[in-house]
């Protein structure tokens, strides 16, 4: 049931991933789920760039080198983590947003539509027992140096994916009643 999938959605990080490739057909299913997100004026602003294999290592090198180049006092442990984490993933999908050239809707709506597409991806991964999470490091502002990007397109982060073993931690939320005002 959809409510169970929603409640079971978790962030699953690269340290938890096992060495098991993710088939292209599985990634295509995840992307198809993304494509059904709501979109105002049908702009469909989400764009995805799928990285697997050697591209994961290349991404890690790029992120680490960029971090070292742009950070006043880079920390070696963070530089190493930037190299290693992408290599642990079965796939990383760069989450991009293509701004409507006519600017027929505010930019925040296109970002929100892209975020809803990512939520659909997350729920699809949860239903297929694939761990995932959305990483949005400050380094995404440099991704046009690594990824092919169109004019008006920007990277909003990375969707890490990987199979995992073991139990995930229990997620606790405050009751919705604490966040809701009823106005009859």
What are the Cα distances from residue 85, in Å, to 47, 91, 153? 23, 11, 25
Question: Does residue 168 or residue 48 have the better pLDDT?
Answer: 48
pLDDT over 90 at 169, yes or no = no
Look at residue 127 in the predicted model and tell me its pLDDT: 97
State pTM to two decimals.
0.95
Domain boundaries, the chain: 2-179
Residue 79 has pLDDT above 90, yes or no: yes
CATH architecture assigned to 2-179: 3-Layer(aba) Sandwich (3.40)
What values do phi and psi take at 159, rounded to 5? -105, 100
DSSP codes joined into one string, 111-167: HHHHHHHHHHHHHHHHHTT-EEEEE--GGGGGGGGTS---TTEEEEEEEEEE-B-SP
DSSP letter at 78?
Answer: H
- Quote the mean pLDDT of the chain: 96
- pLDDT, residue 142, reads 97
The predicted structure's pLDDT at residue 171: 87
Residue 175 has pLDDT above 90, yes or no: yes
């Amino acid at each position: 049931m959809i409510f169970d999938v929603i409640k079971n959605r978790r962030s699953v990080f690269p340290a938890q991933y096992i060495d098991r490739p993710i088939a292209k057909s599985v990634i295509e299913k995840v992307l198809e789920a993304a494509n059904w997100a709501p979109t105002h004026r049908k702009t469909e602003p989400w764009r995805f760039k799928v990285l697997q294999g050697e591209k994961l290592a290349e991404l890690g090198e790029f992120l680490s080198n960029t971090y070292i180049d742009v950070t006043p006092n880079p920390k070696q442990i963070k530089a190493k983590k930037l190299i290693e984490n992408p290599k642990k993933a079965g796939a990383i999908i760069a989450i991009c947003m293509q701004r409507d050239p006519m600017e027929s809707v505010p930019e925040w709506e296109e970002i929100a539509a892209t975020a809803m597409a990512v939520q659909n991806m997350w729920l699809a991964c949860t239903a297929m027992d694939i761990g995932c999470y959305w990483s949005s490091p400050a380094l995404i502002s440099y991704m046009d140096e690594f990824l092919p990007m169109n004019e008006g397109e920007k990277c909003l982060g990375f969707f890490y994916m990987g199979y995992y073993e073991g139990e995930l931690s229990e997620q606790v939320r405050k009751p919705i009643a604490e966040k809701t005002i009823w106005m009859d």
